[in-house]
Amino acid sequence: MASADQLLASLEGVSASSFSNEAERIRARDAVFEALRRIQSPWDIAWDQNWVNPAINASIKTLIDAGVFKKWADDAGGAPITCTKLAELTGADELLIRRMMRAISGQFLVREIAQDTYAQTPWAKALAEEPSFAGMYGGFYHELNSQMFRTLPYYLKETGFKNPTDVNDCNFQFWQGDKNANMFQYVGTNPRLTSDFNDAMECHSKYNLTPWVDIYPTDTVVQSVAETDNGQPRPLVVDIGGGKGHDLKKFLARHPNISPGSLVLQDLPDILKGVDVDALIKVQPHDFFTAQPPESQGARVYFMHNVLHDWPDEAAKKILQTLAPAMKKGYSRLLIHESLVSSVKPLSRVTVSDITMMACLAAAERSEEQWRELVASAGLSIVKIWRPVQSVESIIEVEVA
């Protein structure tokens, strides 16, 4: 048995770059987290969850809003810095900054290297450099997600602990006290929430997920003979519920020589307001509960990323049934880019997302069996499930049955 000193010494100096690949890093992270849980007392765990997380999140958001991370990077070059200097750069109260920097330093989010002097960590650097990462602490989480987690237990108690399945009568409406809108309609009416929501999705896509072009052989899409309609080529990829278009941007970066009009970005009109995409990507407001517009029918690929997990089975089936007539048999494919809940030891990222879907939309993450049932219920069939090792999400390739 290693002594405490030996154990601690072997942990010192370990960082994200200590591993030869991402799979090893994830394995180490999970092992260390499991060890932490064994070391923690029950009180430690309850303290972290109920006191630390809310206090630290509030401090982080305040420091972001005051411009601390950005000014630290832009005006001080990211070098070690005092709270006096941070107050000078931001105009915020020095004592307020000191209290909050002390708090986040206690969580090892910045490093205290001398009295009242802090050094950046990769996390603090990312907050400065990446607006969508800072958006993880934005309105979408503070004003929406965390509010819904607050009411979820009360809502479920009131329902007699029933698994929720109605997107128009669930925890979201319980929180709002109003049954006239679901979460997406609510987000769409508030431009700031819309922007925060889009940032959050972009950030998930950038940091949390393996890009779809690394999972599915997109060469086969580009190489296939394009179908035409009266001489006009059909779209290659229609991204349904595509948000800011980050998945089409990834496709375009991989296949820069495709012709204009090949890529179509669809979402609700409010969500698409002000999206900034390459001129090669056609932006097309579209509600997926209605038929595909004629010019987007018969596409080679319809792509849905984290769309169906937002909807309970009945609504998800309706979305698929509405899309199916636009798919050309033997040519069109639907790529459903989603997580699969494993039957044994499912990934924590997926199980947490599952409860988020429940809290916001009475929806759920699905197992392979549930995906198969859903796809078949809409008259479609699964060709193959592309399941990358160590990736959170898979691609379910679907054709007209």
Place of tokens 């393996």: 210
> Could you tell me the smallest distance in angstroms from the CB atom of residue 43 to ligand SAM?
36
Distance CA 299, CA 234 (A): 6
**Collapsing DSSP states into helix, strand and coil, what is residue 269?**
helix
> Could you tell me the smallest distance in angstroms from the CB atom of residue 251 to ligand SAM?
13
Our CB check for ligand SAM shows the closer of 71 and 366 to be 366
> Could you tell me the smallest distance in angstroms from the CB atom of residue 218 to ligand SAM?
16
Our CB check for ligand SAM shows the closer of 267 and 365 to be 267
Distance CA 359, CA 121 (A): 33
Q: Is 309 a catalytic residue?
A: yes
**Collapsing DSSP states into helix, strand and coil, what is residue 381?**
strand
- Quick check: 238 and 264 in contact, CB under 8 A? yes
> Could you tell me the smallest distance in angstroms from the CB atom of residue 185 to ligand SAM?
8
> Could you tell me the smallest distance in angstroms from the CB atom of residue 290 to ligand SAM?
8
Axis-axis angle for helices 313-323, 368-377 (nearest 10): 50
Rule CB under 6 A: which residues touch ligand SAM? 184, 201, 205, 241-243, 267-268, 271, 287-289, 305-307, 310
Our CB check for ligand SAM shows the closer of 60 and 271 to be 271
Our CB check for ligand SAM shows the closer of 160 and 294 to be 294
Q: Which residue is nearest to ligand SAM (CB)?
A: 241
Please count the residues of the chain: 401
Our CB check for ligand SAM shows the closer of 235 and 242 to be 242
Residue in 212, 211, 243, 237 with CA at minimum distance from that of residue 224:
237
**Collapsing DSSP states into helix, strand and coil, what is residue 335?**
strand
Q: Supply the Cα-derived Rg of the chain in whole angstroms.
A: 23
CA distances for 255 relative to 209, 218, 250, 397, angstroms? 20, 9, 9, 20
Runs of H (alpha helix) within 77-145: 83-90, 94-105, 122-129, 131-134, 139
170 DSSP assignment? S
Residue in 295, 357, 353 with CA at minimum distance from that of residue 326:
295
> Could you tell me the smallest distance in angstroms from the CB atom of residue 95 to ligand SAM?
40
Distance CA 102, CA 112 (A): 8
Our CB check for ligand SAM shows the closer of 52 and 275 to be 275
Catalytic residue selected from 246, 286, 309, 337:
309
Active site residues: 309
